[in-house]
Structure 1
Amino acid sequence: MTNRKLSLDILTLAVPTIDDARAFYTSTYSLGGTSLDLHGAGQLDLVAAVSSVASTEFPGLVVSYIVDQPSEVESLLAAAAAAGGEVLKPAKKGFFGGFTAVFRAPDGAIWKLATDKKKNSGPAAEPPTPTETVCILGVDDPKASKAFYTALGMTVDRDYGKKFIDFEFDAGTSRLGLLRRSELAKDAGVSDSGRGGGTSVLVSRQQSRADVDTLLAAATSAGGQVTAPAGVVDGGYAGQFTDPDGFIWRVASN
């Protein structure tokens, strides 16, 4: 096992136009300035790219934006719809608990708004801020994917076998979760169209170039594929790999 651990520090989304996507996320989540920091619970980055995945296809990844209470789910869903998002599932109580809603951003990314509470305890926060964000990957075999990510230094938090697995995470980063792809699409309210890991890139920041090299080697040994060998990029040092389900990771340091 590597001495370094993989972390989900930034989620990079391929979007048709950066300005339009920035306006959408800034408006929906009340983000300040030019930063797409999700109120200290993860960070977005945007790259302009012509995606090979249609905006209506299932990208294989859902970002769960977890807030404190139902009124905040409703408030965020209304903001997303007003900014041009498509409501995939209206806000409602879950059968087994909690309160959720799902929308698709204009760039095709799918977001689930959620709280574990069924009732409000007071007025909605203005703006609602997340207690955490979770990038849930739709995978063929959650147990096999768990083995891959633990080989890269991640520590399992909750393990429900084939149902759902997630990992511990540090403050300021996003949590990583695993769910069978067909179940994730069903939960998001979309058909399981498309293939592979979509066009999103999950970015892990490392302390040194040696850490980058170590993680890329660990990914290869665990069954991933290095798609861009480590090298000097824009003044830093980075390499890229895909996991066994095709999700793209970029590992970088200064």
Structure 2
Amino acid sequence: MAITLDVITLGVPQVDAAYTFYTAAFAPPNNGDDRAIGLDLHGTGHLAFRQIDALAADVGARPASSGFRGYVLSSIVGGPSEVRVLLETATANGATIVKPAKKQLFGEFTAVYRAPDGAVWKLAASSKKDSGPVPSPPRPTETAIYLGVAEPKASKAFYETLGMRTEHDYGDKFIDFTVAGGVCRLGLLRRRDLARDAGVDEHGDGFSAVVLTHTAASRAEVDTLLTAADSAGGRVTADATQTDQGDYVGRFTDPDGYHWKITTRPGAGSGGHIPATS
């Protein structure tokens, strides 16, 4: 059993507008314009959208929020020129610059923008120098979400109980987990440090407007993860039940209140095999 971050769902004012913005910002592979699937971020995870009132209702939260939502999304690309291109594309489609593209104190080349839906994105280059022409479109090598938490070491213990393996551990400064192909990376920082790094005010309250989703191989895995989350200090907010669409879905929050959805695809049984569908 190991939880993975398969889909990041953002609560947005208008789903069509968000879909249009992120399609322009990341030029994802064509999925037939199926908004139910969301956007494939070039094999580094999926981004989906739901009207913020509906998403809040899904998790039993009030949709109102103000200020910093407590998390920062990140897209990592090959070199500085790719960061510049992604930033220019985002701002041309309605994003606002929080931090311009430039080399930081320790050599990292980054930029930060706020998307029209309010989500904060950090763009970062994995290399200090460009290695060749900028691909069109730039393709992220990794998509991540960094959560602002009270105590990163305590949150680390929670996620390790759910099967995640730590890749970088700098105590209460920064922690992240190993990531497999096709899913997003999860990282942890203290809330004030995350806000400072992104260049935004740390204060904010209300619904975070994000739900993290893991697609389990079986109903048994859904139940096991919910039990593990509850015993490790999280809170099960919805016991697993079968939906009208045939999914088996349960929900929990981590110790800092971030919402997770654990689901199966229709047809998943109690074991680890999902029957093929025609």
**TM-score, L = length of structure 1:** 0.95
Contact 1:196/1:245 (8 A) holds in 2:
no
Contact 1:169/1:175 (8 A) holds in 2:
yes
Task: Give the corresponding residue for 1:75.
Answer: 85
Q: Is 1:146 aligned to residue 126 of structure 2?
A: no
Pick one of 209, 218, 225 that aligns with 2:228.
218
Contact 2:45/2:183 (8 A) holds in 1:
yes
Task: Give the corresponding residue for 1:126.
Answer: 136
Once residues 43 and 125 of structure 2 are traced to their aligned partners in structure 1, the CA distance between those partners, rounded to angstroms, is 18
Pick one of 229, 236, 244 that aligns with 2:255.
244
Contact 1:197/1:246 (8 A) holds in 2:
no
1:147-204 CA distance string (max 9 Å, x none)? 0000111111111111111111210000110011100001111101213771200000
Once residues 64 and 196 of structure 1 are traced to their aligned partners in structure 2, the CA distance between those partners, rounded to angstroms, is 22
Task: Give the corresponding residue for 2:47.
Answer: 44
In the alignment of these two chains, the number of paired residues is: 249
Task: Give the corresponding residue for 1:53.
Answer: 65
> Deviation at 1:121?
2.1
Once residues 195 and 243 of structure 1 are traced to their aligned partners in structure 2, the CA distance between those partners, rounded to angstroms, is 17
> Deviation at 1:126?
0.6
1:63-90 CA distance string (max 9 Å, x none)? 1100000000000000000100011000
Task: Give the corresponding residue for 1:199.
Answer: 209
Contact 2:176/2:188 (8 A) holds in 1:
yes
1:72-221 aligned at under 5 Å gives the runs 72-195=82-205, 198-221=208-231
Contact 1:60/1:197 (8 A) holds in 2:
no
**TM-score, L = length of structure 2:** 0.87
Once residues 93 and 118 of structure 1 are traced to their aligned partners in structure 2, the CA distance between those partners, rounded to angstroms, is 8
* CA separation of 1:170 and 1:116: change in aligned 2, threshold 3 A: closer
Contact 2:29/2:42 (8 A) holds in 1:
no
RMSD of aligned residue pairs (Cα, Å): 1.2
Structure 1 residue runs without a partner (length 5+): none
Pick one of 225, 230, 235 that aligns with 2:246.
235
> Deviation at 1:123?
1.7
Once residues 125 and 80 of structure 2 are traced to their aligned partners in structure 1, the CA distance between those partners, rounded to angstroms, is 6
SS, match of residue 136 in structure 1: strand
> Deviation at 1:32?
3.8
1:119-159 CA distance string (max 9 Å, x none)? 22222111000111111111010000000000111111111
Contact 1:101/1:114 (8 A) holds in 2:
yes
SS, match of residue 195 in structure 1: strand
Once residues 13 and 76 of structure 2 are traced to their aligned partners in structure 1, the CA distance between those partners, rounded to angstroms, is 27
Taking only the aligned residue pairs, the percentage that are identical comes to 53
Pick one of 9, 12, 15 that aligns with 2:9.
12
Structure 2 residue runs without a partner (length 5+): 54-62, 266-278
Once residues 87 and 159 of structure 1 are traced to their aligned partners in structure 2, the CA distance between those partners, rounded to angstroms, is 30
Contact 2:52/2:209 (8 A) holds in 1:
no
Task: Give the corresponding residue for 2:21.
Answer: 24
* CA separation of 1:176 and 1:25: change in aligned 2, threshold 3 A: same
> Deviation at 1:31?
2.1
Once residues 29 and 162 of structure 1 are traced to their aligned partners in structure 2, the CA distance between those partners, rounded to angstroms, is 32
Contact 1:98/1:114 (8 A) holds in 2:
yes
